[in-house]
Amino acid sequence: MDIKSLSLDELKTEIGKLGEKPYRAKQLYEWMHVKLARSYDEMTNLPKSLREKLAENYEYTSLKEVTVQTSKLDGTRKFLFELPDGNFVESVWMQYHHGNSVCISSQVGCRMGCRFCASTLDGLERNLTPSEMLEQIYAISRSTGERVSNVVVMGTGEPLDNYDNLLRFIQMVTDENGLNISQRNVTVSTCGIVENMKRLADERLQITLALSLHGSTQAKRQELMPIAGKYEIDEVIDACRYYFDRTGRRVTFEYSLVGGVNDTDEDAENLCSLVGGLNCHVNLIPVNPIRERDYVESERRNVLNFQHKLEKRHINATVRREMGRDIDGACGQLRRRHAKSGQLEICPGD
Ligand code: SAH
């Protein structure tokens, strides 16, 4: 059993089964989720006999830091971690004026097939457990020595394709007995799995939902995102409206601008019609070209023109700051490179 994925209540039950006093559960939980202990050995106020019993009966998930790359442009750090089974995941640490943000992966690989994304090129390997999601944050916290205030689930993987583990992760990372990150500082990004968007809305959490839109009509979206063949664009937008109605949380739309593909005036107009009237925010992301595809980013003036068109229609739009471009900042590039070569091949300015 994976001890770091247990809630405090579940841990109390387990500790009871071992014949220990209930307050030991609280101590143990604190070691794992507040003091971010790397192993049972560090838990010095637990009797050695208990630590031994724990080690015999429960797996203690911790990630091995394989590489850290620090951006010379903005200090963003990209981590490659090895999971207990030898798989790799990547996570990113970013500093903003409002605090430190960590972007975590939710799966090893991804099966969604978005055309511009490197994470999906080799398909899905497996889901991450709650503890493996938590550990990405904990390991970064230990490495940087800094508090993490924001979490975005926007790394490799489709979080709503790993729903139960994601939900447990959210509950644990926002738990007052753990890191106690405010729900409002947690964002989950999805390619638009409608039934799970609604399910998430019904959990009535205060987290932010971000929808990867990338196309403003059904046809355009489907060109870039195979998942759009399963869920019509109107259905996905309805699910966003439902999310807002249930939670009162403004939805974010992510729109990666691909030169000549989805960045024309007509695309901007269509986007206005699509999301106008919804309480939302549009995040424009100049696409980060990956080697395996020939997509190019929009020209700067097209990006600004696109933003301007939205703002004229009173749609809140920002151009995302591109962090860590010099360190394989875009989804899945680092892990993929590592997997292909067995070691890191660092390409400055790539
Ligand atoms: N599966 C989820 C979360 C992971 S992807 C989702 O689809 O939202 C996080 C965001 O990065 C998504 O908006 C995704 O479309 C975008 N993305 C992936 N590869 C990109 C690239 N090369 N350039 C720009 N954005 C990219």
Phi-psi region of 175 (alpha: psi -120 to 50; beta: other; left: phi over 0): beta
Q: Place 329 in a pLDDT band, splitting at 50, 70 and 90.
A: low
pLDDT of the residue at 331: 57
CA-161 nearest atom, ligand 1:
1
Give the tens place of pLDDT for each residue, 56-76.
999 999 999 999 999 988 889
Give the number of the atom of ligand 1 that is nearest the alpha carbon of residue 116. Answer: 22
Confidence at residue 320, expressed as pLDDT on a 0 to 100 scale: 82
Q: Which residue has the higher pLDDT, 327 or 344?
A: 327
Question: Closest residue (by CA) to atom 15 of ligand 1?
Answer: 212
Ligand 1 centroid, distance to 338 Cα (angstroms): 20
Give 262 Cα–ligand 1 centroid separation in angstroms: 15
State the pLDDT at residue 328: 64
Residues 6+ apart with CB under 8 A from 307: 284, 317, 318, 319
pLDDT of 271 > 70? The answer is yes
Determine the average pLDDT of the residues in 293-301. 90
Least confident of 192-206, 306-320, 322-336: 322-336
Give the Å distance between the CA of 208 and the centre of ligand 1.
Answer: 16
CATH 3.40.640.10 matches 3-57: no
Q: Interhelix angle for 163-173 vs 194-202, to 10°? A: 30
Q: Is 189 in the pocket of ligand 1 (CB under 6 A)?
A: yes
Cα 136 from Cα 26, distance rounded (Å): 22
Q: Is 190 in the pocket of ligand 1 (CB under 6 A)?
A: yes
Determine if ligand 1 sits within 6 Å of the CB of residue 298.
Answer: no
- CA–CA separation, 165 vs 5, rounded Å? 9
Which pairing describes strands 88-96 and 99-103: parallel, antiparallel, or unpaired?
A: antiparallel
Residue-level pLDDT at 346: 35
What does pTM read for this prediction? 0.94
Q: Active-site residue numbers? A: 90, 331
More confident residue, 69 or 348: 69
Nearest atom, ligand 1, residue 225 CA: 15
Question: What is the residue with the minimal CA distance to atom 22 of ligand 1?
Answer: 288
Where, residue-wise, is CATH 3.20.20.70 in the chain? 64-340
pLDDT over 90, % of the chain: 86
Contact 182, 174 (CB under 8 A): yes
Q: Is the CB of 290 under 6 A from ligand 1?
A: yes
pLDDT in tens, 201-259: 999 999 999 999 999 999 999 999 999 999 999 999 999 999 999 999 999 999 999 99
Percent of the chain whose pLDDT exceeds 70: 94
The alpha carbon dihedral of 86, 109, 183, 168 has a sign of negative
Q: What pLDDT, on the 0 to 100 scale, is given for residue 341? A: 59
Could you tell me if the CB of 105 is within 6 A of ligand 1?
Answer: no
Q: How many CB atoms lie within 10 A of CB 109?
A: 22
Residue 78 has a pLDDT of: 95
Question: For residue 117, how far is its CA from the centre of ligand 1 (angstroms)?
Answer: 6
Residue 348: pLDDT band (50, 70, 90) is very low
What is d(CA 173, CA 7) in angstroms, rounded to the nearest whole number?
11
| Average pLDDT of the chain, as a whole number | 93
Mean pLDDT on 151-157:
97
- Confidence (pLDDT) at 332: 66
Is the CB of residue 114 below 6 angstroms from any atom belonging to ligand 1?
yes
pLDDT tier for residue 284 given thresholds of 50, 70 and 90: very high
Q: Is the confidence at residue 350, as pLDDT, over 50?
A: no
Give residues with Cβ within 8 angstroms of 341, minimum separation 6.
none
Q: Does residue 344 have a pLDDT over 80?
A: no
Out of 77-81, 203-207, 241-245, 288-292, pick the least confident: 288-292
**Given this model, what pLDDT does residue 327 score?**
73
Ranges for all domains in the chain classified under CATH 1.10.150.530: 3-57
Q: For domain 64-340, which architecture applies?
A: Alpha-Beta Barrel (3.20)
Instruction: Please report the pLDDT score of residue 294 as a whole number.
Output: 84
Q: How confident is the model at residue 82 (pLDDT cuts 50, 70, 90)?
A: very high
Determine which residue's CA is closest to atom 14 belonging to ligand 1.
212
pLDDT exceeds 90 at position 93: yes
Give backbone dihedrals phi and psi of 69, rounded to 5 degrees, phi first.
-120, 135
From 91, 189, 214, 224, mutation site for ligand 1 pocket: most ligand atoms within 8 A of C-beta: 189
Tokens of 155: 């790394």
Residue 126 has pLDDT above 90, yes or no: yes
Q: What pLDDT does 147 receive?
A: 94
Compute, in angstroms, the gap from residue 3 CA to the centroid of ligand 1: 31
Q: Which of 290, 303, 331, 350 to mutate to test the pocket of ligand 1 (most atoms within 8 A of CB)?
A: 331
In 146-198, the DSSP E strands lie at 150-153, 186-190
